[in-house]
């Protein structure tokens, strides 16, 4: 074909595609689905990265630290503060740079590789504080938890000294966004004049600090580059009073000893308290205390500069950062770094021969996120495989049907002199037009849908107001920004979808033309080989994998089908897919036999008495088989998506129940009773601006100790579940033994019962149903013990609000048991239980605006001096949905899968139904011609197609149940990876939830659509001119 004819060829292809759209509908659907799914997962990945990044770097105030190129004692360094600060003027000339300030804190890292670094970094560490206003003795300055989530950095609370520039401009915005009490100083001058200090809320809570309180002494240490301050000796060689002290630190391989020198500041005033609860990245877990750099003397400044503690903190406009992919973000960061490094990049250049280098602060966060994102995307692709398979099936069937419908057209073209090559080109041109349109439609819808998917916080639950987003209300649509796909990714989706479609078209058309051309010779067309037995084999292998998984999980069956661990693992991963694909292929055959099956049930009814003969031959047509296959396939996906979606949401919620335990968990500074605790929460609530008036209830769990009467050294922790705790805590089946936690709670309420944890079972050697005698010290003054016999109710896995490690090692008793046991204890009296930790239920608050009110209350409480710490369900849920049982956004993808499959079920039924009925128009006309009434024909078609639909739907649902079980193993595996990665220590059972109502709704809607489609198409078929239909092909 010459180029001059290209426009004409394209016009013909578009014309054929449009006028023959009925035959191309299935091809369109297939490519559309594939494009929608692939684009969604890619765009979702980009959006997720952007969200992760935004969240992760939200509390990282600086983008780059600019430090001196060579380490301490090296060349091209300076201790001239003015000269160092003046570099900022040059850096601010870089496009995108917004602010720059001298800062002192963590020592420079002068090694290339993060993991290769052996010497632990040393921060400025807060060693001691004191003052007249607050209870400083409460504060534990050692930062015990700081090493938990990352590499060892330091053992004490970090101190960060910031220059004057950091108190205004863009750095003011970044610093002040976390302030929950007081105000971030608005200028360096203010900060120095007021001797301002900004402290984390956790320190403020412990010390019950108020804004304006002062520190009389503030001692922090820095790591000296010489041992002299620690080993100062007099002229006789005897040690003088050293100004420093030695401190040990552990690197990855060695132990190091540092000489720490103390700097004391006096009369500092608390200007602001910031929220340090969010530790988005393990690399920034130790939240520092901020003090102005200018409070130091010149000598101290020089000392810190010589010790490599100072750097220039630089901020860039993050909106200029391309977050569409990690590589794009990294590329931008690299570009900025290169520009920074471009200044003073040679050893004998620049101001005072200083040489600097930029270290990006958020690149490491990106690297961390990238690893997580790979897992997330791998998992997302896995859960989207069913839809991809569905779209390919629809595409292939569509192609076959489309070619079959073009048989006559192809013959006519051959007669007109079309060569095989020309015909293939003609078909491919049309398919390219259809596929390109379908790809584009799928692409657009995916890009539109992704912000909603990212806003999902549970299966079919979205964190946005639809009416606001559709402009029906005046409210704000708090959707995340639409992620943009890179050109490379966009081209990839196009190549994958259009390429697959055109590729399949090519091979199919070639085979089709080959058959067509041979047909003149062979009167009997070649029967294609049946793969039925292969399908059965695949189905059976998948089914065995399912049984194996079921037996593994079932407590009552102690039998393993697959004992080989490797094979077992492979079956866990691939079994569900084999079951699903094989099952759909095999069960579809059964679905196509729906009319015969239904006939067995209804043969004696008058409904089908007169059309029995017509039914006996139905179900054999190929189109009918395809209709059955598509219904089985889509319904199984719908079922799986709904079951796993609801299950995943429940797992996330359970994870929150486990960590928070109730709507709100508050740790108080001093033991309080119930009414005191409620009063504090009520006051905090009233200080908010909500009009709601929730009923606040509180409960606590009291810790006691007991030992077995026959083994006094075998001491176990006893937790008392109060009666209020039964109502206030978020219980679920896994929390207590037995199938029904309500009855278990009732049993625990009864006097003389207990439950044991996994470890305490072995410690005490107890077993369910038996009675054991325990001793407890009931009078701490006299040491008097009281014995009590308790019946073991069974094993609890976890308890709301309690770490699973603790729950493992304790036993639980009810309040009535505790009261009768400790009747005279001063710790517990009839109407006054005192405790540090209280759980609260605030009726109806979680439903309101997704717990926004609860989050506000939580922040309000955290500033209260009587409150040590507070966690609320809603904030925890946000965090858990990022790193919990299911990964952040997956419920959104499963929601998409659910909606798309349900729509695909309806749409493809429509398409295939019209094709089936079109194929059968002649048959229906013959029936009428030989005397069948329109009513009989209508009933015949209705009965036949509805039978196929209903039977296929039931089989699809059944298969869905099977694959939901099967995929549970795979989901568990990924859940475990995510939990390990996210640092969560709790493995929560994925007890499947069966959303019967939703599934019936989808089934009902599908049936309704099929019925409407049937009535319309059959009526059309019946009312068409008999003679024309019978005469034509």
Nearer CB in complex with another protein: 9/492:
9
Helix (H, G, I), strand (E, B) or coil at 184: coil
Among 12, 359, 388, 392, binds another protein (CB under 8 A): 12
Residue 640's CB is within 10 A of a number of other CB atoms, namely 27
Show the beta-strand stretches assigned E in 631-765: 664-672, 696-699, 701-708, 711-721, 753-756
Q: Which listed range, 8-16, 468-476, 751-759, 797-805, lies at the site for another protein (CB under 8 A)?
A: 8-16
Q: Which position among 4, 526, 604, 613 is part of the footprint of another protein (CB under 8 A)?
A: 4
Q: 297 or 528, CB closer to another protein? A: 528
Q: Is 412 in the site for another protein (CB under 8 A)?
A: yes
At closest approach, how far in Å is the CB of 5 from another protein? 5
Q: Which is nearer to another protein, 5 or 823 (CB)?
A: 5
The yes or no reply on residue 526 touching another protein (CB under 8 A) is no
Q: Answer yes or no whether residue 22 interacts with another protein by CB under 8 A.
A: no
Nearer to another protein, 415 or 470 (CB): 415
| Segment interacting with another protein (CB under 8 A) among 52-60, 266-274, 404-412, 591-599 | 404-412
Which of 216, 267, 419, 564 binds another protein (CB under 8 A)? It is 419
Residue 629 CB, shortest distance to another protein, in Å, is 29
Token pair, residue 784, equals: 């008097």
The length of the chain is: 1033
Q: Which residues of 302-340 are buried (b: 16+ CB within 10 A; e: fewer)?
A: bbbbbbbbbbbbbbbebeebebbbbebbbebbeebbebb
Q: If binding is defined by CB under 8 A, does position 413 make contact with another protein?
A: yes
How far is the C-alpha of 976 from the C-alpha of 659, rounded, in Å? 17
Say how far apart CA 254 and CA 599 lie, in whole Å. Answer: 81
- Tokens 């579809």 belong to 588
DSSP, collapsed to helix, strand or coil, labels residue 260 as strand
Minimum distance of another protein from residue 482's CB (angstroms): 38
CA 659 to CA 663: how far, in whole Å?
11
Closest CB to another protein among residues 8, 349: 8
Write down the least CB distance from residue 418 to another protein, Å.
Answer: 4
Question: 245 - beta bridge partners?
Answer: 260
Q: In the complex, what is the shortest distance from the CB of residue 924 to another protein, in angstroms, rounded to a whole number? A: 21
Q: By C-beta, is 413 or 714 nearer to another protein?
A: 413
Cβ closer to another protein: 7 or 931? 7
Residues in the interface with another protein (CB under 8 A) total 30
For position 1028 contacting another protein by CB under 8 A, the verdict is no
**Alpha carbons 155 and 75: distance in angstroms, whole number:** 31
Nearest residue (CB) to another protein, 411 versus 557: 411
Check residue 1030 for interaction with another protein (CB under 8 A). Answer: no
CB-nearer residue toward another protein: 319 or 415: 415
Of the candidate residues 109, 117, 407, 414, the single one contacting another protein (CB under 8 A): 414
Rounded to a whole number of angstroms, the minimum distance from the CB of residue 506 to another protein is 18
Q: Does 9 sit near another protein (CB under 8 A)?
A: yes
Whichever of 9 and 217 has its CB closer to another protein, that residue is 9
Burial (CB < 10 A; 0-12, 13-18, 19+), residue 533, is: exposed
Nearer to another protein, 7 or 769 (CB): 7
CA distances to 154, 594, 602, 628, 863 from 943, rounded to whole Å, are 76, 9, 10, 14, 69
Contact at 8 Å (CB) between 734 and 784?
no
By CB under 8 A, name the one of 8, 95, 686, 712 that touches another protein: 8
Give CA–CA dist 745/737, Å, rounded: 9
Burial class (CB in 10 A: 0-12, 13-18, 19+), 624: buried
Cβ–Cβ < 8 Å for 268, 214: yes
Q: Is 7 in the site for another protein (CB under 8 A)?
A: yes
CB within 8 A of 870, min separation 6: which ones?
664, 665, 666, 667, 858, 861, 862
Can you tell me which of 151, 282, 422, 934 binds another protein, judged by CB under 8 A?
A: 422
Q: How far apart are CA 343 and CA 942, in angstroms?
A: 79
CA nearest neighbour of 26 among 51, 34, 539 = 34
Strands 711-721 and 255-274: unpaired
Provide the minimum distance between the beta carbon of 510 and another protein in the complex, in angstroms, as a whole number.
Answer: 14
Does residue 418 interact with another protein by CB under 8 A? yes
Two tokens, residue 595: 């009319």
Strand partners, 375: none
Instruction: Give the shortest CB-524-to-another protein separation in angstroms.
Output: 5
- Please, which of residues 874-913 interact with another protein by CB under 8 A? none
Range in contact with another protein (rule: CB under 8 A) among 406-414, 442-450, 688-696, 957-965 = 406-414
- Tell me if 528 contacts another protein by CB under 8 A: no
Could you tell me the smallest distance in angstroms from the CB atom of residue 14 to another protein? 11
Please check whether residue 1011 is in contact with residue 926, taking contact to mean a CB–CB distance below 8 angstroms.
Answer: no
Return the CA Rg of the chain. 36
Given 58, 409, 610, 848, the residue binding another protein (CB under 8 A): 409
Q: How far apart are CA 910 and CA 916, in angstroms?
A: 10
CA distance 390 to 630: 8
* Packing angle, helices 890-919 and 420-454, rounded to 10: 140
d(CA 175, CA 290): 10
Tell whether residue 1027 is a contact of another protein (CB under 8 A): no
Q: Is 570 in the site for another protein (CB under 8 A)?
A: no
Contacts of 302 (CB under 8 A, 6+ apart): 79, 81
Based on the shown chain and the rule CB under 8 A, indicate whether residue 10 belongs to the binding site for another protein: no
Query: Taking CB under 8 A as the rule, does residue 523 contact another protein?
Result: yes
Smallest distance from another protein to CB 16, Å: 5
510 binds another protein (CB under 8 A): no
Q: Judged by CB under 8 A, does residue 128 bind another protein?
A: no
Q: Does 687 bind another protein (CB under 8 A)?
A: no
- Nearest CB to another protein, comparing residues 760 and 925: 925
Instruction: Enumerate residues 235-254 that contact another protein by CB under 8 A.
Output: none
Contact range with another protein by CB under 8 A, out of 15-23, 133-141, 271-279, 555-563: 15-23
Pairing of strands 179-182, 255-274: antiparallel
Range in contact with another protein (rule: CB under 8 A) among 183-191, 520-528, 843-851, 947-955: 520-528
Residue 232 lies near another protein (rule: CB under 8 A): no
Distance separating alpha carbons of residues 386 and 633, to the nearest angstrom:
9
693 binds another protein (CB under 8 A): no
For residue 535, the SS3 value is: helix
Please give the Cα distance from 669 to 672 (Å, whole number).
9
Looking at beta carbons only, is 11 or 75 nearer to another protein? 11
Give least dist CB 918 to another protein, A.
14
Give the helix ranges, DSSP H, for 343-419.
363-405, 407-415
Given the rule CB under 8 A, which of 164-172, 405-413, 548-556, 757-765 is the region that contacts another protein?
405-413
For another protein, the binding residue among 15, 92, 378, 1015 (CB under 8 A) is: 15
Nearest-CA neighbor of 440 among 39, 46, 41? 39
Alpha-carbon distance of 751 to 740, in angstroms, equals 19
* Least distance from another protein to the Cβ atom of residue 11, Å: 9
Q: What is the DSSP letter of 529?
A: P
- Write out the residues near another protein by the rule CB under 8 A: 1-2, 4-5, 7-9, 12, 15-16, 19-20, 408-409, 412-422, 520-524
């Amino acid at each position: 074909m010459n180029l001059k004819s290209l426009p004409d060829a394209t016009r013909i292809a578009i014309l054929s595609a449009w006028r023959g759209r009925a035959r191309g509908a299935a091809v369109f659907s297939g490519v559309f689905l594939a494009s929608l799914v692939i684009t969604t997962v890619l765009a979702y990945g980009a959006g997720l990265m952007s969200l992760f990044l935004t969240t992760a770097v939200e509390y990282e105030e600086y983008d780059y630290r600019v430090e001196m190129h060579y380490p301490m004692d090296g060349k091209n360094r300076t201790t001239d503060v003015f000269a160092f600060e003046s570099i900022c003027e040059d850096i601010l000339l870089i496009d995108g740079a917004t602010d720059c300030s001298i800062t002192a804190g963590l020592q420079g890292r002068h090694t290339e590789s993060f993991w290769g670094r052996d010497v632990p970094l040393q921060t400025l560490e807060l060693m001691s504080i004191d003052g007249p206003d607050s209870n400083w003795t409460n504060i534990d300055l050692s930062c015990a938890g700081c090493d938990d989530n990352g590499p060892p950095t330091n053992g004490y609370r970090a101190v960060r000294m910031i220059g004057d520039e950091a108190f205004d401009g863009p750095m003011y915005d970044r610093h002040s966004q976390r302030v929950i009490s007081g105000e971030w100083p608005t200028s360096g001058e203010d900060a120095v004049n007021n001797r301002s200090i900004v402290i984390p809320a956790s320190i403020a809570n412990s010390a019950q600090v108020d804004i304006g309180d002062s520190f009389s002494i503030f001692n922090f240490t820095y790591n000296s580059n010489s041992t002299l301050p620690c080993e100062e000796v007099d002229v006789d060689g005897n040690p003088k009073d050293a100004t420093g002290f030695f401190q040990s630190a552990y690197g990855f391989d060695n132990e190091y000893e540092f000489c720490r020198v103390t700097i004391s500041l006096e009369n500092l005033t608390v200007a602001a308290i910031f929220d340090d609860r969010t530790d988005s990245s393990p690399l920034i877990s130790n939240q520092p205390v901020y003090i102005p750099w200018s409070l130091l003397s010149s000598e101290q400044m020089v000392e810190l500069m010589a010790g490599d503690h100072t750097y220039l903190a630089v901020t860039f406009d993050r909106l200029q950062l391309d977050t569409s992919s990690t590589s794009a973000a990294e590329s931008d960061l690299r570009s900025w770094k290169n520009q920074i490094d471009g200044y003073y990049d040679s050893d004998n250049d620049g101001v005072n021969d200083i040489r600097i280098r930029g270290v990006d602060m958020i690149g490491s966060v990106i690297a961390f996120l990238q690893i997580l994102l790979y897992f997330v995307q791998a998992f997302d692709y896995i859960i989207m495989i069913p839809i991809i398979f569905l779209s390919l099936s629809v595409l292939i069937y569509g192609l076959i049907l489309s070619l079959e419908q073009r048989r006559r057209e192809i013959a006519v073209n051959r007669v007109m002199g079309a060569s095989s090559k020309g015909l293939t080109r003609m078909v491919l041109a049309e398919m390219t037009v259809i596929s390109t349109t379908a790809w584009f439609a799928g692409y657009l819808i995916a890009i539109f849908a992704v912000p909603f998917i990212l806003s999902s916080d549970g299966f079919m639950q979205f964190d946005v107001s639809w009416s606001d987003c559709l402009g029906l209300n005046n409210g704000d649509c708090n959707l995340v920004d639409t992620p943009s796909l890179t050109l490379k990714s966009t081209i990839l989706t196009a190549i994958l979808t259009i390429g697959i479609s055109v590729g399949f078209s090519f091979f199919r058309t070639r085979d089709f033309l080959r058959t067509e051309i041979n047909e003149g010779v062979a009167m009997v067309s070649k029967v294609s080989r049946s793969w039925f037995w292969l399908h059965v084999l695949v189905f059976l292998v998948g089914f065995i994998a399912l049984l194996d998984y079921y037996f593994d999980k079932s407590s009552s069956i102690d039998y393993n089908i697959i004992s080989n661990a490797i094979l077992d693992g492979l079956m866990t991963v691939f079994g569900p897919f084999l079951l699903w694909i094989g099952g759909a292929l095999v069960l579809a055959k059964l679905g196509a036999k729906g009319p015969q099956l239904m006939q067995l049930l209804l043969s004696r009814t008058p409904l089908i008495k007169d059309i029995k003969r017509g039914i006996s031959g139905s179900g054999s047509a190929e189109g009918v088989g395809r209709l059955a296959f598509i219904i089985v396939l889509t319904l199984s996906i719908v079922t799986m998506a709904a079951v796993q979606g609801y299950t995943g949401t429940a797992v996330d919620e359970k994870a929150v129940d486990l960590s928070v335990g109730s709507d709100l968990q508050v740790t108080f500074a001093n033991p309080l009773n119930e009414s005191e605790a409620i009063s504090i929460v009520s006051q905090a609530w009233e200080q908010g601006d909500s009009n709601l008036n929730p009923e606040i209830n509180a409960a606590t769990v009291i810790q006691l100790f007991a030992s077995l009467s026959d083994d006094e050294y075998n001491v176990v922790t006893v937790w008392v579940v109060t009666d209020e705790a039964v109502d206030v805590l978020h219980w679920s089946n896994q929390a207590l033994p037995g199938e029904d936690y309500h009855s278990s709670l009732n049993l625990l309420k009864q006097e003389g019962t207990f439950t044991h944890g996994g470890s305490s079972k072995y410690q005490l050697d107890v077993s369910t149903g038996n009675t054991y005698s325990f001793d407890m010290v009931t009078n701490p003054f006299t040491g008097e013990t009281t014995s009590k016999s308790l019946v073991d109710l069974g094993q609890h896995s976890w308890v709301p609000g309690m770490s699973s490690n603790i729950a493992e090692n304790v036993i639980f008793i009810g309040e009535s048991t505790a009261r009768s046991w400790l009747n005279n204890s001063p710790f517990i009296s009839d109407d006054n239980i005192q405790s540090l930790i209280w759980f609260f239920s605030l009726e109806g608050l979680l439903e309101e605006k997704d717990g926004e009110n609860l989050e506000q209350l939580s922040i309000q409480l955290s500033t209260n001096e009587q409150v040590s710490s507070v966690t609320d369900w809603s904030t925890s849920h946000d965090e858990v949905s990022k790193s919990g049982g299911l990964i952040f956004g997956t419920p959104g993808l499963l929601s998409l899968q659910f909606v798309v499959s349900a729509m695909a079920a309806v749409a493809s039924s429509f398409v295939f139904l019209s094709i089936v009925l079109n194929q059968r128009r002649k048959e229906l006309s013959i029936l009428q011609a030989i005397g069948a009434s329109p009513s009989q024909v209508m009933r015949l078609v209705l009965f036949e197609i509805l039978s196929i639909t209903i039977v296929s739907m039931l089989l699809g649902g059944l298969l869905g149940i099977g694959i939901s079980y099967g995929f549970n193993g795979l989901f568990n595996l990924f859940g475990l990876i995510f939990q390990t990665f996210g640092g969560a220590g709790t493995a929560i059972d994925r007890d499947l939830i069966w959303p019967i109502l939703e599934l019936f709704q989808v089934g009902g809607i599908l049936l309704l659509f099929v019925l409407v489609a049937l009535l319309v198409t059959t009526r059309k078929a019946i009312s068409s001119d008999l003679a024309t239909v019978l005469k034509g092909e």
